Amino acid sequence: MTSSGQDAHRAAAVIVAAGRGTRAGGDVPKQWQMLAGMPVVRHSVTVFADHPRIAQVVVVFHADDAARVRDLGLSGVDTATGGADRAASVAAGLAKVRDCAQVLIHDVARPLVTPEVIDAVLDALATHAGAAPALAVTDALWTGDGTRVTGTQDRTGLFRAQTPQGFALDAIRAAHDAHPGGAADDVEVARAFGLDVAIVQGDEDNMKITLPGDLVRAERILRGRHGH
């Protein structure tokens, strides 16, 4: 992380890690499961903490995870306690950001995000109030009733959203204050407030860990990156 000091381009990262998701299996929430020898959350934190354009990292944890947080020993990282839903957790994280004009909001369940994706979002914030990585939908899309195909869906203009989603700090704080709740992500909150959000190129490896097989895939990707 960069040293302290006022700068219009200083950026913070808020990592949302307060969820209780269980679809990934295991006895603990997915952010605490092991991936290549350390918890998922540490992978997600490290890439931002080591990034030279990130001045502050705030990790939002569930209140029940206080002991795990202490054991993690996140030196130089700020923490916040999550709220009743994702929006409340993001707001708690945003409240801890200081001396930064920009903020990146990231899902802890995307531990494979790269410095290049982070850079692309930050670069886009030079000309937009918001920016986020995404991948254009290339597969054919169907509608269905769960057991059979009921129709097709035009994929033109459709994207698969990723994080980190970046914003001018004051703007996204105001957007969250004004939003009634229930948004799928922070881009939805921002757009409801009238903010312009740019799309930057996402990364197929910037996957979200949701199901048990995702941890296996993530470990395979990490082995490929490290050459073993």
CATH of residue 181: 3.90.550.10
Confidence at 204, pLDDT banded by 50, 70, 90: very high
Asked whether residue 147 is domain-assigned, the answer is yes
Nearest-angstrom CA–CA distance, 176 and 188: 10
Helix ranges restricted to H, 31-77: 40-49, 66-72
In which domain, by residue range, is 24 found?
Answer: 11-226
Asked whether residue 4 is domain-assigned, the answer is no
Q: What's the pLDDT tens digit per position in 134-165?
A: 999 999 999 999 899 999 999 999 999 999 99
The model's pTM is 0.93
Asked whether residue 45 is domain-assigned, the answer is yes
Asked whether residue 3 is domain-assigned, the answer is no
Asked whether residue 6 is domain-assigned, the answer is no
- What is the mean predicted confidence (pLDDT) over 40-44? 96
Asked whether residue 206 is domain-assigned, the answer is yes
Asked whether residue 125 is domain-assigned, the answer is yes
Asked whether residue 5 is domain-assigned, the answer is no
User: Exposed/middle/buried for 105, CB within 10 Å: 0-12, 13-18, 19+?
Assistant: buried
What's the total number of domains in the chain? 1
- What is the mean predicted confidence (pLDDT) over 49-78? 94
List the one residue out of 198, 9, 201 whose CA is nearest residue 118: 201
Nearest-angstrom CA–CA distance, 140 and 137: 8
Query: Does the structure show a pLDDT above 90 at 33?
Result: yes
Query: Does the structure show a pLDDT above 90 at 226?
Result: no
The predicted structure's pLDDT at residue 29: 85
Query: Does the structure show a pLDDT above 70 at 113?
Result: yes
Token output for 213: 């097989």
